[in-house]
Chain A
Amino acid sequence: MAKIVVDPITRIEGHLRIEAEIEGGMIKDAWSSSTMFRGIEKILKDRDPRDAWYWTQRFCGVCTTVHSIASIRAVEDALKIKIPPNAQLIRNIIIGIQGVQDHVIHFYHLHALDWVDITSALKADPVKTASLAASISDWPNNSATHFKAVQEKLKAFVDTGRLGPFANAYWGHPAYKLPPEANLMATAHYLEALEWQKEVIKIHAILGSKNPHPQTFLVGGMSIPVDPDSQNALNADSLITIKRLLVKARDFVEKVYIPDLLAIASFYKEWAGIGAGVGNYMSYGEFPDPVSGNLWFPSGIIMNRDISKLLPVDQQKVAEYVDHSWYESTAGQGKGLHPWKGETEAKYSGPKPPYQFLDTDKKYSWVKAPRYDEAPMEVGPLARILVAYVAGHAESKAAVDMVLGKLGVGPAALFSTLGRTAARGIDALLMARQTQVYLDQLIANIGKGDYRIHANEKWDPKEWPAEASGYGFHEAPRGALGHWIRIKDQKIYNYQAVVPSTWNASPRDAKGQRGPYESSLVGTPVAKPDQPLEILRTIHSFDPCLACAVHVTDATGNELVRVRVS
């Protein structure tokens, strides 16, 4: 049996390695390993809890707001702070546009090249490309002239013989199925999306000074002042700019991303039967109402692909295992520990670099294995959309039915590589629309004369209890994210994060159950083992983000000082 290694997995955030056994043109078994560790939770110990958002933000520069959000929510939960409506709405807008922009970048710049053969675009007829595009969207840039210009640019680039980031790829691989015109259309939109993403994310700069890593979060609210009569605050001018950018974001999703997704998917329908994975899905829910706190996206759990039943999330059922991860645990072999009781210390036991293969029978990753009620869980847009669908969330149901209808497939098709990629598009569409609602609410609230952006009462640490603990949940673009904090004497006593890619990239647990990446690869056909394009398709469908996954640490049980990994 041939064992292949893909390391680095590119077009992701972070350092991920996949080892796979191939037999008879199909993956028989797979192992997912993260090969980088920093230890940020350990570093957080004894620091000011109000600073934690800034540190945890650096878990990841791609999902650059999500750890800030989870962190301030955790501290606010611990200190029982209720933030003003403006702050909640500003956060919702930041979360929404982050999700939309992140998903578009993922689709075009990280995932598309798994389906789109750029070199084939050179053979396309621009006129036919324009009619193909016109048949699926009225996007004004889809003209023959534009496609021709893109093709010429591409040709000039290829003619230099220096393909730069496009060199050495799997071009011409038999698994590429799109006709040249579809390839040209997607290539043009790849370039257009590159321009678009830096425009729409200016919303983060307006609300938070810059992107990546906006600097505006505060425990208790936000630091961007609101005052329509000031030139140094969020005023009418900046609000209208945000409005314009949100429209631009929504238009692109509705008229480019979704039509492209459907067009490309229609050529790859067999991928609706590949890559399902563990079949358990979890979402924490998102977008709190500024007054009631009710979540717009519902939370919940689906087990064994049973969409007739939605279970509530009970954080007590989360446990982490390190039987195949490079950590020590005094709890002993085969024991999972709830994050609050856990205790782990980094201890590398893999092969000495440089190495060819990891010892996958033993420990083989810096990512731990979180389990819910002992079961591996998939998190991310697919989980979010499935949970919303089953919960009867009207907007989600309509969007899912639209996409399934256009593809002519049933809900079961969602349990797949293609389903994951489609769900991300649906998610982007829903957020692109809903974010506008939050902006309108913000404008209305400011119009009423409410300029509050921060709850000041607990800003001074002298106002805090001697000890406090809390947690913050957030549905990040990549899925269910949780931060837990314990505060003692105004300092961080213990800090932990269990992040989406930890769930998805998890190695095996004590029972030998594979994590979602590993599980989804089993049974995947591989036409050319030396060019494992199919592995990239399924792994990219999760949108891996590994820097986060490995900061994760569990808790520290009796000895509060100890943190885990990171």
Chain B
Amino acid sequence: MDREGKEKQKEKGFSVARMLEERGVSRRDFLKFCSTVTVAMALPATMAPKVAQALDKVQRPTLVWLNFQDCTGDTEALLRSANPTVGELVLDILSIDYHETIMAAAGHQAEAALEKTVKEFKGKYLCVVEGSIPLKDGGVFGCIGGKTFQQIAKHVCGSAAATIAVGTCAAYGGIAAAVPNPSGAVGVKEAVPGITVLNLPGCPCNADNLTAVVVYYLTFGKLPAMDSHGRPLFAHGKRIHDNCERRPHFDAGQYVEHWGDDAHRKGFCLYKMGCKGPATFHNCPTQRFNEKCSWPVAAGHGCVGCSEPQFWDTSPLYRRLPNVPGFGIEQNADKIGLAFAAGVGGAFAIHGAMNALRKDKDATSENTKDGEE
């Protein structure tokens, strides 16, 4: 582009806030947006002005989005992200230089656009990866423009400031990596060792959490604190069970026994229908989906544990978490994790359960830090 030099200069003068203003977003809406993401990031509301201040200063950052062994569900989630007007504009403002699902260019022109970004913004752009990366047989199970997904990931993620793996596939291999993993699929961190990766699992990931990560990065100049699975604590620091709106029914021993029974209609606990909430670390109950419309438990279906590594092999949808002693007592909820680890071994691995346990520990130490529990 011939006006490039000029534009670069111009860019220096830009801030996200100013850009939003030019696009007809009022200061008031902008501040509202900052409050919302501040809450999403599980930061105290008093941090909102700092977020706003940081976004005021930040330059228009570049983001590229790579689709590998995926179903495009995370991209679709992005299209439905909450804070519609502003969120969308922020993404717009990010300058998404490559995203195959939405970009106008195709073929060589698309590849050229990606290459240009990698060169010009080396070490400065954010890379989002959706989908797993097949390693078997030299990676022939996934190619774009004649290059394997792994070759592309090494090149593009390797030159990025940071990579955000969205969805359980990009984070941990996901569905394609489930037994017997026919294509040798792995998550991005395993396919490209040594790079900085933040995992945002979920099937699909919650787009509001993605927006929050990006804002966090722009605000604080670093990625948020993560657990041992590389997940941001603000979204994965607590179990579904801890924040579930049906928790009082669990504590009171009120359970759904059959789909559509009286208890189901009254919104009782779904534990007996196979809910994995007690072993799943995610903020679904509070963040919810589609502009906070709903989330699985609210719609009468148990949590399936989709943000846990290897959940595909450890979480048959309707199998009850193994016997939990002492239902209805708050403190015993934690024993569920133990019982789960001890009992679930059956058909597939127990890996996920162990991870959940470990996570439990991390979460506890983290919680004491911000003094919430």
Interface residues of A (CB under 8 A from B): 5-15, 35-40, 42-43, 46-48, 50-51, 54-55, 58-62, 64, 105, 109-110, 113, 118, 149, 153, 156-157, 159-162, 164-171, 194-195, 197-198, 201-202, 204-216, 218, 220-221, 223-227, 230-233, 346, 348, 350-356, 366, 451-454, 456, 459, 530-532, 536, 547, 566
Contacts and interface: CB of A to CB of B under 8 A. Distances in A.
4 tightest A-B CB contacts, nearest first: A61-B73, A232-B267, A161-B7, A39-B182
Given A51-B317, A62-B76, A7 B112 contact: no
Contacts of A346: 141, 182
Contacts of B319: 48
Contacts of B159: none
B147 to A, nearest CB: 5
Contact of A225 (B68, B102, B109, B300): B300
A112 B101 CA distance: 13
Given A58-B175, A64-B73, A209 B102 contact: no
B136 to A, nearest CB: 10
Interface stretch (B193-201, B289-297, B365-373): B289-297
Contacts of B347: 46
Contacts of B107: 5-9, 532
Given A35-B143, A198-B84, A48 B106 contact: no
B104 A37 contact: no
A194 B92 CA distance: 12
Given A6-B107, A51-B316, 11 more contacts: A12-B101, A36-B69, A37-B141, A43-B312, A162-B7, A162-B60, A165-B98, A198-B84, A210-B296, A233-B267, A348-B140
Nearest to A52: B317
Contact of B182 (A6, A11, A43, A215): A43
A445 to B, nearest CB: 14
9 contacts: A36-B69, A42-B180, A60-B72, A153-B23, A195-B85, A206-B299, A210-B289, A232-B267, A454-B258
Contact of A43 (B22, B175, B295, B316): B175
In this complex, the member of B24, B110, B259 whose beta carbon has the largest number of chain A beta carbons within 10 angstroms is B259
B178 A43 contact: yes
Contacts of A171: 104
A224 B304 CA distance: 16
Interface of B: 1, 3-4, 6-8, 10-11, 14, 22-24, 60, 62, 67-77, 79-81, 84-85, 88, 92, 94-113, 134, 137-148, 151, 175-176, 178-183, 185, 203-204, 258-260, 264-267, 289-291, 293-301, 304, 312, 316-319, 347
In this complex, the member of A166, A213, A348, A531 whose beta carbon has the largest number of chain B beta carbons within 10 angstroms is A213
Given A206-B293, A230-B267, A547 B147 contact: no
B260 A198 contact: no
Contact of A194 (B23, B79, B139, B147): B79
Given A43-B179, A161-B7, A451-B260, A210 B290 contact: yes
B141 A51 contact: no
Nearest to B76: A212
Nearest to A13: B72
Nearest to B178: A43
B265 A354 contact: no
B75 A43 contact: no
Contact of A205 (B104, B108, B293): B293
A451 B265 contact: yes
Nearest to A545: B72
Contacts of A231: 267
A167 B300 contact: no
Contacts of B105: 10, 167-170
B138 A212 contact: no
Contacts of B299: 205-209, 214-216, 223-224
In this complex, the member of B10, B139, B296 whose beta carbon has the largest number of chain A beta carbons within 10 angstroms is B296
A350 B137 CA distance: 12
B112 A8 contact: no
Contact of B266 (A205, A220, A232): A232
Nearest to B106: A10
A47 B105 CA distance: 41
A168 B109 contact: yes
Contacts of B71: 13, 58-62, 547
B291 A202 contact: yes
Contacts of B1: 161
